[in-house]
Structure 1
Amino acid sequence: METYIVDSFTTEPFKGNPAGVCFPQQEIGAEAMLKIAQEFGLSETAFVRETSAAGVYAIRYFSPKQEIPLCGHATLAAAKVLFSQTLHTEIHFLTHEQVDLPISRRADDITMTFPVYDTVPVAAPPALLAALGLPAVTNTAYSPKNKIVLLEIADDQQLAALRPDFAALLQSHTGINGVLVTAPGRTPAYDYDYHYRYFWPWAGTNEDPVTGGVQTFLAKYWATRLHKSVMQAFQSSARTGAMQVELHADKVLLTSQARIVLEGRLVAFA
């Protein structure tokens, strides 16, 4: 099985978010995909197969814990590999939930078109805030589609300095996939509209280095507050990463780059 590791949402190797990308030559089951994702040990691994339609590929995503409906950085990683092998400037991914994801490239930039989801008000449990080290938040919301709690705080430097207690965090809430903490971009050294970090020990790893899938609701959240439709987003994890987001009525366009850092063959799998 042809395999790759690709660093997404970055122009530099060993920055951004590494994703595994696998190209099975025949159908393999979800259990085998999960075992392979566990072997990679990355936040997500994408499995890509050609369909009968030209330029259309079926894609599935697995964390080391479970299948994930939609993943931004693994989509970008898979697109980077496919664009490096063909002359195509546009392809489509079809997810396991039959969501069509148009992907285009222009030079080294890759643009992904994702759906947009709404958020609803929610109260954050005090234990959740304590586990994150947050004495207070500016606003709280919830994405029902993604099962993610959103917490807005005022200071992007406080966001970068967060050191959650992940054991306590896991015990502080049930029935969610993760918690996203975000802040407006106010540090002069960075030219970004908003910053964010994503913690998801419930469904994946402790922290996702750079997360594109959350823009399905985060872009609309900040567009409403900033009165902007085109914004620059920065994920202030240890590896860091960035992307441009462009909000339309029912879709969001994510533009960034990726670097292939490893290619090889998986010779044993279930």
Structure 2
Amino acid sequence: MKTYFVDSFTNEKFKGNPAAVCLPNTELDTKTMQSIATEIGFSETAFIKQISDNVYSIRFFSPKTEIPLCGHATLASSKIVFDTTSFENIKFINRDNVELLIEKIGNKIKMQFPVYDTEETEVPQKMIEALGISEIVNKRYSPKNKIILIEIKSAAELANLKPDFTALLNSHTGISGVLVTAVSDNETFDFHYRYFWPWAGTNEDPVTGGIQTFLTKYWAEKLNKTKFNAYQSSLRTGTMSTELVDDKVFILGEAVKVLEGEFVL
């Protein structure tokens, strides 16, 4: 099975978020795909299959479970399709039949994702302590993604968070992850964020695109604007641009291929 490793949301190798992109020649069952994703060990492995012309099915797996939607693995998959075909536009269809429209714009890739609402929520004190947060500005919950959003005051504090992941995992059940965000402390970016998800994947996702399905709308309402430059202040770091247009969010980013080979099944 042709397999690629791609660093997403960066133009530098060994930065951004690594994803595996697999192109199976035969039908693979869910158990096999999960085993492959666990073997590779990246936060996401994508399996893509051409349906017709520039239309592909796509499924995403963390080392622990299947994920319905993933930004950086979609970006990585788009990079491979654009590099190996003459297409300028492609469409991915995920397991929930959500259509992801992708466009190549020079060295960058523009992805169209749906927008999801957030609602008020309570955050357990044990979670706040496990994250090492001193003060919360706001807290929301994305039911569609099963992700808690916590806004804090300082981008510097966000970058310096050192969560106790054992305590974090034990602080809540029934969620996929917790997103911590803060307004930017420089003019280059509008907001910073980090994403922790030991419940469904790895301890921390290096760069996360899928959370823009609700995070971009959150900051649009707070900052009264629709276009953003976002910075993920993880160890590997990553950047992207986003734009809110009605019920869609457009995510613009770059990706770098770092490995090409054959996965032996």
TM-score range, shorter chain: over 0.9
Q: Deviations over 1:2-24 (max 9, x none)?
A: 00000000000000000000000
Q: State the SS of the aligned residue for 1:138.
A: strand
Aligned-pair identity (%): 56
Aligned match of 2:213: 216
Q: Deviations over 1:146-166 (max 9, x none)?
A: 000000001000000000000
1:50 maps to 2:50? yes
- Give the Cα separation in 1 of the matches to 2:264 and 2:69: 27
**One-letter identity of the residue aligned with 1:22:** C
Q: 2:259 aligns with which of 249, 253, 262?
A: 262
**One-letter identity of the residue aligned with 1:114:** F
- Give the Cα separation in 2 of the matches to 1:90 and 1:228: 27
Moved over 3 A (4+): none
Output aligned runs, 1:100-249, within 5 Å. Answer: 100-186=99-185, 188=186, 191-249=188-246
Aligned match of 1:40: 40
- Give the Cα separation in 2 of the matches to 1:110 and 1:69: 21
Output aligned runs, 1:87-102, within 5 Å. Answer: 87-102=86-101
Q: State the SS of the aligned residue for 2:76.
A: helix
Aligned match of 2:12: 12
Q: CA deviation at 1:106?
A: 1.1
Q: Deviations over 1:195-244 (max 9, x none)?
A: 00000000000000000000000000000001111100000000000000
Contact 2:135 2:153 in 1 (8 A): no
- Give the Cα separation in 2 of the matches to 1:48 and 1:66: 17
- Give the Cα separation in 2 of the matches to 1:106 and 1:152: 32
5+ residue gaps, structure 1: none
Output aligned runs, 1:24-39, within 5 Å. Answer: 24-39=24-39
What root-mean-square deviation, in Å, do the aligned CA atoms of Structure 1 and Structure 2 show?
0.6
Q: CA deviation at 1:135?
A: 2.1
Q: Deviations over 1:31-63 (max 9, x none)?
A: 000000011100000000010x21000000000
Q: Deviations over 1:63-113 (max 9, x none)?
A: 000000000000000000010011111000000110000000011110000
- Give the Cα separation in 2 of the matches to 1:176 and 1:86: 38
Q: CA deviation at 1:136?
A: 1.5
- Give the Cα separation in 1 of the matches to 2:110 and 2:53: 19
- Give the Cα separation in 2 of the matches to 1:146 and 1:111: 21
5+ residue gaps, structure 2: none
TM-score, L = length of structure 2: 0.99
Aligned match of 1:80: 79
- Give the Cα separation in 1 of the matches to 2:223 and 2:27: 45
**One-letter identity of the residue aligned with 1:168:** A
**One-letter identity of the residue aligned with 2:27:** E
Q: How many residues align?
A: 265
**One-letter identity of the residue aligned with 1:126:** Q
